[in-house]
Amino acid sequence: RYFCQSIPKIELHAHLNGCIRSSTFRQLLTSSDDQIRLDTLDKNFSSGDTHSRMANVFEKFALLRSCVTNLDDIRRITRETLEDFIDDNVMYVELRTRPRSFDNGKIPSSNYIEAIIEIIKEYEEKICSRLILSIDRTQTLEQAMETLKLAEKYRTYVVGLDLSGDPNIKSFERFLPVFNLAKDRNLSTTIHIGELPDEECLNENNLIINYKPTRLGHFNFRTNEQEQRVIKEKIPLELCPTSNLLTMKLTNLTEHHFNLFYKNKHPLAICTDDSGLMNCCLSSEIFDLVQTFNLTKQEIYDFMLQTCNLIFDKNMIDFCQKKLKDFFLKQ
Ligand code: 5GP
């Protein structure tokens, strides 16, 4: 456990607001003094099938969104998130977030991104952070285009575009023009795929794989054919064990698809997804897999080294690999 804690790590799938500390979430919420809202916060989301678990998670996301109301809140969440990653020896993080405006549009979403970048710069000496802008599945094509424009405007810090949000809404096809433009403009992309075990979701998986994003998130539910295509085309996967176990309703990591892809030497990143809401950290996500699948120190090193290649900011690959090598030489 100590080894997994002390090794320099890379986090590639972390939703900024989902990283909120539970104490901060509670504090933001209690300021409104609303018992029903507090009950939602305390609700346990690990019951029922995948659909109801997912609904519980998204109920919390809606609550969270309603109590983050200004730029100071988002500065605080970013600051605390980076401090938590630094404590866990994360050297490079790609934070993803859906840009939003406050005060009925008086504070535009460009200010939201600038507030986050301001904190990223504050912590630059301790952790290298980049942004991925999220398009939410409920948004319109116009809103998604706006997000692409913002990504281009803040290109030094923004390294990619993500599609996330309620997986019940099958909207990848609607956003295809935006994702095609992103590709034309050399902006990396990552798409949440296969989060629900239904036919519509499996159908949408095909569209997403045909598009061939730079990386895929989760891929919990898939057909054999889809699995083989992703392996053959070497599309890297971001896997988030705690979050995946929760929504897939698995009791044990032995059943998690990490094993299958790892055995196939598939490009993989282990990530936290929503460290605050899921109450997890990157070193424990890695440690749990290491323990379940009996990985040696050498295997951990090789694994982390290949994850470095999946970073969207290609300028940072050498830096991260060197830090890892230095760490291992000292072992
Ligand atoms: P934000 O974009 O507000 O910084 O981060 C929180 C948002 O990320 C949530 O409201 C939700 O839309 C999205 N998100 C977080 N975790 C997941 C997940 O596991 N699956 C999907 N599809 N979206 C997620």
pLDDT at 162 over 80: yes
Rounded average pLDDT over 170-177: 97
Per mean pLDDT, which range of 39-43, 162-166, 283-287 is the poorest? 39-43
The class of domain 2-329 in CATH terms is alpha beta
pLDDT in tens, 313-322: 999 999 999 9
Given a cut of 80, whether residue 311 has pLDDT beyond it is yes
Cβ of 238 closer than 6 Å to ligand 1, yes or no, is no
What pLDDT does 82 receive? 98
Inform me whether the pLDDT recorded for 42 exceeds 90: no
Query: CB of 284 closer than 6 A to ligand 1?
Result: no
Note the pLDDT tens digit of each residue in 268-288.
999 999 999 999 999 999 999
pLDDT average, residue stretch 100-128: 98
Instruction: Give the model's pLDDT for residue 41.
Output: 76
Alpha helices in the chain (DSSP H): 2-6, 22-30, 35-42, 50-67, 71-87, 109-122, 141-153, 172-184, 199-211, 224-232, 241-248, 258-263, 275-278, 282-292, 297-308, 317-329
**Residue 190: is its pLDDT beyond 80?**
yes
Task: Tell me the angle at which helices 199-211 and 224-232 cross, rounded to the nearest 10 degrees.
Answer: 20
Contact 164, 238 (CB under 8 A): no
Which of the following is catalytic: 11, 94, 146, 195? Answer: 195
String of DSSP letters for 182-224: HHHTT-EEEEEE--S-SHHHHHHHHHHHHH--SEEEE--S--H
Cβ–ligand 1 distance for 97 under 6 Å, the answer yes
Point out the least confidently predicted range of 42-56, 105-119, 142-156: 42-56
Task: Please state, for a pLDDT cut of 70, what percent of the chain lies above it.
Answer: 98
Confidence of residue 33 (pLDDT cuts 50, 70, 90): low
The lowest-confidence range among 34-48, 57-71, 82-96 is: 34-48
Ligand 1 atom, smallest distance to 166 CA: 22
Pocket test for ligand 1, best of 12, 15, 240 (most atoms within 8 A of CB): 15
| Contact indicator for 16, 97 with CB cutoff of 8 Å | yes
> Is 129 a residue whose pLDDT tops 90?
yes
242 lines ligand 1 (CB under 6 A): no
**275 CA distance to ligand 1 centroid (A)?**
12
| pLDDT tens digits for range 211-242 | 999 999 999 999 999 999 999 999 999 999 99
- From the CA of 133, how far away is ligand 1's center (Å)? 11
Read off the DSSP letter of residue 48: S
Segment 123-152 mean pLDDT: 98
**What is the per-residue pLDDT for 331?**
87
Q: Residues 77-97: what's their mean pLDDT?
A: 98
**Confidence (pLDDT) at 181:** 98
Active site annotation includes 195: yes
Q: Is the pLDDT of residue 198 over 70?
A: yes
Atom of ligand 1 nearest to the CA of 134: 2
The three-point CA angle 300-306-307 to 5° equals: 85
Q: What are the sequence ranges of the domains in the chain?
A: 2-329
Residue 34 has pLDDT above 70, yes or no: no
Residue 72 token pair: 């100071």
Return the pLDDT at 320: 98
Q: Is the CB of 18 under 6 A from ligand 1?
A: yes
What's the pLDDT tens digit per position in 3-25? 999 999 999 999 999 999 999 99
String of b and e for 136-158 (b: at least 16 CB within 10 Å)? Answer: bbebeeebbbbbbebbeebeebb
Identify which of 56, 59, 61 to mutate to test ligand 1's pocket (most ligand atoms within 8 A of the CB): 61
Residue 132, strand partner residues: 96, 160
Q: Are 19 and 86 in contact (CB under 8 A)?
A: no
